Structure 1
């Protein structure tokens, strides 16, 4: 299992950060420029990654003020889950961690690790910008 992750501390209470992340409509604000054709509800999102693939994700698990897990709704090229974890980091602060877990063979790992790490880094920094 390949695990790619990044964290940031946001100057917002945990409830506010969790509430933002638990609605997939908000995740469009966290996406990089190579994402288009975005459609979403609170529980599902569909989008296209430029020159790559069309993806559809749904929230498979919610643990209030702790964690949110998304999985593909249709057949993905490899097993993958996207997980946001939030924890208190002091008075009115929240540590948010974005984790992608993927079942990648060596070839896929060489090709996908870089882009997946860029995606994780981008989403974490955008979350900090948006919720600042």
Structure 2
């Protein structure tokens, strides 16, 4: 199992605001690099998109712990199965800290090629989530 933990990012949004935003997977489109994503479709509980020139990715919300944790898993014809946990903690002065933990079943050969791009991608997502004004 390959594990990637993103940088921890602080936001001026409250824990509740960030949680409410991220539990609606329609909002993930706002976090994605528009020049690298195509064929986006989503509803509140799942989203699917194609990374240009690569694979179609499906994300499905599995569970949530109010204001603290969102558990997402892969679905569809993804190159490998994975889970993505989004952690949100309250910070002083009505702010919040967020980070993501990815765990995927990646074979050793593919792991060498995808760990760095995945790390950069998930760090970009958590950075954009922390910068959005809600």
Normalised by the length of structure 1, the TM-score is 0.92
Q: Distance in 2 between matches of 1:55 and 1:17?
A: 23
In the alignment, which residue of structure 2 is the partner of 1:83? 85
Superposed CA RMSD in Å reads 1.4
Q: Distance in 2 between matches of 1:13 and 1:129?
A: 12
Kindly indicate whether residue 50 of structure 2 is the aligned counterpart of residue 48 of structure 1: yes
Helix, strand or coil at the partner of 2:89 = strand
Structure 2 portions without partners, runs of 5+: none
CA-to-aligned-CA distance 1:40-67 (integer Å, 9 cap, x gap) = 1000101101111111211011111111
Q: Distance in 1 between matches of 2:37 and 2:125?
A: 12
Picking from 62, 65, 72, the partner of 2:64 is 62
The Cα of 1:99 is off from its aligned counterpart by 1.6
Q: Distance in 1 between matches of 2:50 and 2:89?
A: 31
Normalised by the length of structure 2, the TM-score is 0.91
- The aligned length equals 132
Q: Distance in 2 between matches of 1:111 and 1:79?
A: 16
In the alignment, which residue of structure 2 is the partner of 1:2? 2
Q: Distance in 1 between matches of 2:96 and 2:37?
A: 27
In the alignment, which residue of structure 2 is the partner of 1:27? 28
